Copies of this chain bind each other. A is one copy, B any other.
């Protein structure tokens, strides 16, 4: 073999995954994987009746393979490749899944969707499952660290593009791929990597983690059969880094690999909309409490925020629930009126509520580069001339103010309510926390179907 292949970031990551000893996974990482599972599963159940999923299922209905794998929150069972696709869609469609803040990757969707689907076909013990997920999220976020922020700024939805590497790493570890196969799996994932930010606000955004899950699962399965690819796809002159970014800094992807776990930086959202809106929602909840019943009296709302707020969520007249998730105006208006933010505040009906439509144009947004991305300054003027203000230093769900395990449990129970009985919800929740003790992690499938 060409000696030049024996070094490089692709090889280093492949060796890390293929050679990982599951007994060396730190306890805090195991715990973080369980938190990620609870959060991912709740989001997928919550999104399991969304039109985006239903339309995708209807489109592919004539072509599905036999039913080893579960569609979370639903009774149908399908082939693993489509289960990976469908669960990737449902887990992201509420824009409520996890976020690696440094890169804006939503890491769980591609990785859990692929590995759960595999585990219902190819039994995987709980310890291996948890380790594989940790490795998948780690690889995904680390590759993103090597190409972001330029990669995202150009217009790539980083969850779509790096998600396939994460899914390939998780599945590849579970399938016990060797280093060469793992390198090929990364190559196969890279050459399917896709997802444009242009489609944000449409059903296609949630397609990205779905396709990434399916592509990454496919990549590992193909590499296992000896389907060849580049063995240095990340760093090669025409590889992933150079083609999908500018000045990639892939050495950042392997700093302290196996010593520092990037998966620990994964954060969970309390609100079902674009992350940059979250400090504003915290502020609006506080202001609603201050106002009491005087929401009719709002004359004007002024927000001073980080520039990304308008870049990502500047839709001033959203028409659908999905567009509402990318409208700071909708979020501020509806939270000021209702005093809270749940996934149900981003439906087509709520976005078109007359009181919300009336309040939206009163919201003005000033961008200020000195404001942090998880920070916001809010001022409300009421018709009687009084002024209320609020400064949110760190949004709930930020690394400085993370959601507690109890917060994540409440989120899971909220998202599964109406889909599962109370008993089913509690049982599924309990087993998610105990995932590493399962004889076969694939048993999660039945629990997450609500059986």
Report which A residues bind B (CB closer than 8 A): 51-52, 55-56, 58-60, 62-65, 68, 79-82, 121, 154-157, 160, 187-188, 190-199, 202-204, 207-208, 211, 218, 221-222, 224-230, 233, 236-240, 242-243, 322
Chain B nearest CB from A274 CB (Å) reads 15
User: How near does chain B come to A178, taking the closest CB pair, in angstroms?
Assistant: 16
Q: A227 near B56 (CB under 8 angstroms)?
A: yes
Indicate which residue in B55, B191, B203 contacts A204 across the interface (CB closer than 8 Å): B191
Whether the Cβ atoms of B55 and A226 lie closer than 8 Å is yes
A227 contacts B52, C-beta separation under 8 Å: yes
Decide: B229 and A59 in contact? CB cutoff 8 A.
no
Partner of A230, one of B157, B198, B243: B198
The answer to whether B198 and A236 have CB atoms under 8 Å apart is yes
B204 pairs with A230, CB closer than 8 A: yes
With A and B bound together, what is the CA distance between A240 and B156 in angstroms?
A: 10
Given known contacts A204-B191, A229-B199, is B59 in contact with A155 (CB within 8 Å)? no
Residue of B at shortest CB range from A211? Answer: B192
Check A202–B222 contact: CB distance below 8 A. Answer: no
Contact of A238 among B63, B190, B196, B202 (CB under 8 A): B196
Cβ–Cβ contact A207 & B190, under 8 A: no
**Which of the listed residues A80, A238, A242 has the most CB atoms from chain B within 10 Å of its own CB?**
A238
A240 touching B196 in the complex, CB below 8 Å, given contacts A58-B225, A65-B63, A79-B63:
yes
Question: In the assembled complex, how far is the CB of residue A175 from the closest CB belonging to chain B, in whole angstroms?
Answer: 11
Q: How far is the CA of A19 from the CA of B62 in the complex (A)?
A: 27
- CB atoms of B193 and A194 under 8 A apart: yes
Q: What's the minimum C-beta distance from A167 to chain B, rounded to whole angstroms? A: 14
Q: Are B187 and A191 in contact (CB under 8 A)?
A: no
- List 8 interface pairs A-B (beta carbons < 8 Å), by A numbering: A64-B65, A190-B196, A191-B204, A191-B207, A193-B194, A198-B236, A202-B230, A204-B228
With a CB–CB cut-off of 8 A, which chain B residues contact A322?
Answer: 228
| Cβ-defined contact, B187 with A233, below 8 A | no
A203 x B228 contact (CB < 8 A): yes
